Structure 1
C-alpha cells in the first residue's frame, strides 16, 4: 500500500503522518500527541551513579545525553515508503545520531516502521555506551491497561529479570511501575512479541520484529530523572510509551562492577523494526 500526500498530511494504511516533520498524527481512531522520536536516554539508576568503578551517569550527562533534541532533516514519499531523516543531538556538542525512519503499510492497514541508526561522532567513538535504544511516543492519557505476550510479570533488563517467564500478562499502567526508594529507570517489560494498550482514549497494538521491550508511564523520562522522591511523580495529561530494542545493562555499580561487556550498549550503527496497528 503506497503512501498518499494530501495537503499537509501523508496517508499510509490506517495512519496519518505529518508531511513536513514525519510525525505520526493518528493511527486508526487513536490520536498521537508526539513521536515516534528516537529514544536514547533513561533516568539513571543507582548503579549508573557508580560509587565503584564506572560512573556512567556523570559521563552520560557530560555528553549531553540527558538533553537530546531531535530535528527533522527531510521527509518525503519514496516509492511505497514515507522516509523521514532526523538528527538527534545536544546543544553545544558535535556528536549526534542520524536516524532514517522508513514507514510502510500492508493491505490490512498495519504500519511498519524500520529505523536505521547511524552515529555521527567526529572522534569516531562516543566514549561511553548508550543508555537505551528505541523510540518513544506520547499518547492520550485515557490508555489505562496494557496486555502483552513476552517476559513477565515483573520488570526485566539486559542483565536482570531471571525470575520472569514468557507468557501472556496484563496490568494497569500504574501496576507497571516499580516504586524504588529513589525514582529511577524502572518497570521495563522485556522481549514482548506484542503488546496492546486500551482505555477510553482508544487502543494501540505494537508488534516486535521479532521482539520489543516497553515501559509505559504517566510521566516523562525528564520528570522521572528530576524527582528525588516518589511523591514528586504526578500523573500528567499524557501516557509516555517507550519501545526499546536494547538498554545498557543495570550492573552493580552502586556496590560493585558495572554491566558486564556482553550487556554494554555500544554506540554503533544499528537497525530495528516495529509494527503498529489498531487492534482488531
Structure 2
C-alpha cells in the first residue's frame, strides 16, 4: 500500500505594537517534508482529503487494430498503437483529452532566455519531439500495463513510458535516456491538451503565484484554487509563465466538478496549465495575439530556472544548479478521475 504525505509548517512571527508589525508580522514561513506511514486516503492534515476510490478491476479490454481500449465502469482509456501515446481518457463519455499525452522538452523563451542565447543554443529540444518514432509498443494484459518506447532518428535519446492501469487510475512511469553531448534541456516532462471546460485549477504545492527552481522560496506551500485563465501570468511579451514548482497534486475540473487529478508518486512535480497553446505563446509578440483554446497541461519532472543576473548576455540564464544537463531522468505520477 502506498503511503500518504504529511508536512510540518514552520513560521516566524513578530509580535510588536507598531502598525507595520501588525500588518507584516509574518516574517517567514517554510514547509518541510515529514515521514509518514499512514495509508493513502487517511487525512493527515487539513490539506489532504479522502478521495472516493475507483474499483481496481478492469471490466473490459478491447484490442483494436490501431488501439488498445480499456473500460472500467465510467472510465475509458485509449492507447494508440500507431503513436504509443495515451490518446483518450473519458469520464462517463466526457472526453478529457483533446490531444495526446506526449513528451515535451521546450518552453516559450523568456526575455532572459533570449538574452542568454538559449533559443539557439538549446534548439535541439524544440525540434526533437517531432522526430521521435515508436520503436516498441506492448500490452501485458496480466499486469494491466502498456509500454511504449520512442527514439529519435539518430538514437540520441530514448523515452520509455510505462502505463500501469489500476481501475480508473493510471500510473505513468516516464524515463528519458540521452547521450552525453547534447545541450542542456529546458524542461523534462509531458504535455497534454485538455478540454477547454477544464478551467478550474486546484493544487497543493507552492503558490499562489508562479514559481520556478530558482524562484520559489518566497512562495509558501498550501492549497490553492484559481481559474486557468486568471492564473495565467500575462507578460507584455508572451513567454513561459505560470509554472507551479514542488506540486504534490493538482486537479483540473469543469464547472460541474468533473475532471482529472495529477498526483506525484515520490518526488513533487512542476505543473502548469495555460488557456493557450505553447506555439501560440511562443509566436505571439503581444498579449492581444494570444488566442484562447484548449487547456494545455504540463506535467514536468523539472524545468530549468529563469535566471536574471542581468538581461543582456549569457549571465541572464539560470545558475548551474538550476540547469538541466542532458542525462537520464525518471519520474512517476498518477492520473486519477475526479467525479462529483
Who is 2:225 aligned against? 170
Aligned counterpart, 1:246 = 302
Deviation at 1:45, TM superposition (A): 0.6
Alignment match of 1:57 (pick from 102, 115, 119): 119
| Corresponding residue for residue 82 of structure 1 | 146
SS in 1 for 2:280: helix
Distance 2:197 2:165 in 1: 26
For residue 49 of structure 1, give the secondary structure of its aligned residue in structure 2. Answer: helix
1:84 offset after TM fit, Å? Answer: 1.0
Moved runs in structure 1, 4+ residues, more than 4 A? Answer: none
Which residue of the partner structure matches residue 185 of structure 1? 240
Structure 1 residue 223: Cα displacement: 1.1
Cα RMSD after superposing both structures: 2.2
Corresponding residue to 1:17 among 78, 87, 112? 78
SS of equivalent residue, structure 1 residue 250: coil
Cα distance in 1, alignment partners of residues 282 and 276 from structure 2: 10
Q: Where do 5+ consecutive residues of structure 1 fail to align?
A: none
Seen in structure 2, the aligned counterparts of structure 1 residues 10 and 85 have a Cα distance that, compared at 3 Å, is farther
Identify unmatched segments of 5+ residues in structure 2. Answer: 1-56
Superposition map of 1:136-151 within 5 A: 136-151=191-206
Q: What's the secondary structure of 1:68's corresponding residue?
A: helix
**Alignment map for 1:1-280 (pairs within 5 Å):** 4-7=61-64, 8-11=67-70, 14-20=75-81, 21-24=83-86, 25-29=88-92, 30-31=94-95, 32-50=97-115, 54-61=116-123, 63=124, 65-66=126-127, 68-69=129-130, 70-78=132-140, 79-80=142-143, 81-88=145-152, 94=154, 96-107=156-167, 109-119=168-178, 121=179, 124-126=180-182, 128-200=183-255, 202-210=258-266, 211-236=268-293, 238-252=294-308, 253-255=310-312, 257=315, 258-280=317-339
CA drift of 1:65 comes to 2.0
Q: Distance in 2 between matches of 1:134 and 1:185?
A: 15
Q: Is the 8 A contact 1:193 1:208 kept in 2?
A: yes
Mapped partners of 1:267, 1:254: distance in 2:
25
How many equivalent residue pairs? 266
The aligned residue for residue 22 of structure 2 is none
1:110 offset after TM fit, Å?
1.4
8 Å contact kept, 2:228–2:273: yes
Instruction: Output the CA distance in 2 between the equivalents of 1:172 and 1:187.
Output: 12
Separation of aligned partners in 1, 2:243 and 2:80: 32
Q: Radius of gyration: which is bigger?
A: 2
Tell me the TM-score normalized by structure 1: 0.87
